[in-house]
Amino acid sequence: MKQYLDLLQNILDNGVEKESGRANMPNTIGISKGNISMNLQDGFPLLTTKKMYLKGIIHELLWFLRGETNIKYLVDNNVNIWNGDAYRWYQKWWDDNISELEYLEVKKISSIEEFVEKIKKGELEERQWRVGSQGNQKYKLGDLGKVYGYQWRNQNGVDQVKDVIEGLRDNPYSRYHIIDAWNKADFRDMALPPCHLLYQFIVRPMTPIQRIGILYSRGLAQDCETQEEINLKLEAYKIPKFYLDLNMYQRSCDTFLGVPFNIASMSLLLIIFATASNMIAGVANWIGGDTHLYVDHLPQVKEQLSRIPKTLPGIEITKKLNSLEDILKLTIDDFILVNYEPYDTIKAELFTGLKK
């Protein structure tokens, strides 16, 4: 992933320091556009210049795809990247409803550690607090509001994941294969507006030579003597007719901590959708808007830039995928990472705007 290291260096060389637009966040050094283009036939883009937590990437993506917006599933699987945002959302919810909560004799949780521990133990999990004059404001410990999973699966009543999967099957050349999480009407109900906000899937027809190459690589064409026999086998064995590419736009990019996670997640999403659509995962294009480094991360960035990238690993999905229902049944055990030999991890603080 030399492209990623080049992006880090570009920010160091050309970035401008500015204040964060969010409260309780450090200054950043950034540029106004970043781009990384990843051909998934060259390997799975999981950084090798520091060890990445792939299980966290997989769990979060499955959580998105299922439309979930409460962190209980994540914390139960040791994925803690959303804890700070969930606790900050809890604090806001408390402050907005404190008079009624005092009436209900509910005590405020005083620390993020206590908050996460209560979620792990399932305390209050089955109880939805209802406040407001009509009792119509709901909150369950660990909620994040209408964030990614909600927008992906129920944006204004539309299941965007279902639409894309069905669209790739029924009308592959359509330019409507989009998942869009930027729904301003729901911002007031989100712990955090989406950073990675737009995914567009685009098919690219394979040439006859490319399809025949797949046939031979699978050992299915050795006894073919004529083009007609080859064509029959291409159809009989359902050899893919398309590469599936993906463009993802991310408005705000924590380039040291977040972007490596995001490019692996979008690439895995592309692999899942391509597999379920009988296509070959092609090129994943990551496009960053405000592409920045927190000034507090600069020592870690320099350490990472001192490392030489290694060969990218591969990733395999062991379960057959033919539909959205198959995708929603995926578990962490259905993924195998192959030949991953990274450098040691580089730890850095994840900033979420919590008061110190």
Q: What is the pLDDT of residues 178-205, one digit of tens each?
A: 999 999 999 999 999 999 999 999 999 9
Measured between alpha carbons, how far is residue 341 from residues 266, 319, 333 in Å? 21, 25, 20
pLDDT band at 125, cuts 50/70/90? very low
Listing DSSP states for 297-339 in one string gives GHHHHHHHHTSPP----EEEE-S---SHHHHHT--GGGEEEES
Q: Between residues 300 and 25, which one has the greater pLDDT?
A: 300
Instruction: Give start and end residues of each alpha helix (H) in 171-207.
Output: none
Question: Considering the chain, what is the average pLDDT of its residues?
Answer: 91
pLDDT at residue 93 in the model: 87
Query: Residues 196-217, buried b or exposed e (16+ Cβ, 10 A)?
Result: bbbbbbbbeebeeeebbebbee
* Biggest CA-to-CA distance, the chain: 82
What is the model's pLDDT at position 264? 98
Look at residue 140 in the predicted model and tell me its pLDDT: 87
Per mean pLDDT, which range of 1-10, 89-98, 239-248, 302-311 is the poorest? 89-98
Q: In which element (H, E) is residue 212 found?
A: helix 208-217
The segment with the largest mean pLDDT, out of 120-124, 198-202, 346-350, is 198-202
pLDDT of 350 reads 80
2-69+145-206+241-338 architecture in CATH?
2-Layer Sandwich (3.30)
Q: What pTM was estimated for this model as a whole?
A: 0.93
Q: What is the pLDDT of residue 127?
A: 47
Which residues make up the CATH 3.30.572.10 domain(s) of the chain?
2-69+145-206+241-338
Write out pLDDT tens, residues 210-228.
998 888 888 877 777 688 8
Q: What is the pLDDT of residues 152-171, one digit of tens each?
A: 999 999 999 999 999 999 99
State the number of CA atoms in the 13 A half-sphere of 259 facing the CB: 29
> What span, in angstroms and rounded, lies between the C-alpha atoms of 245 and 202?
5
| pLDDT value of position 6 | 98
Catalytic residues: 195
Query: Which of 352, 317, 284, 356 is CA-nearest to residue 144?
Result: 352
pLDDT for position 337: 98
Tell me, what amino acid is at 134?
A: Q
Lowest mean pLDDT among 50-54, 60-64, 126-130, 238-242: 126-130
Q: What percent of the chain has pLDDT over 70?
A: 92
pLDDT score, position 196: 98
Q: What is the pLDDT of residue 128?
A: 54
What are residue 129's DSSP bridge partners?
139
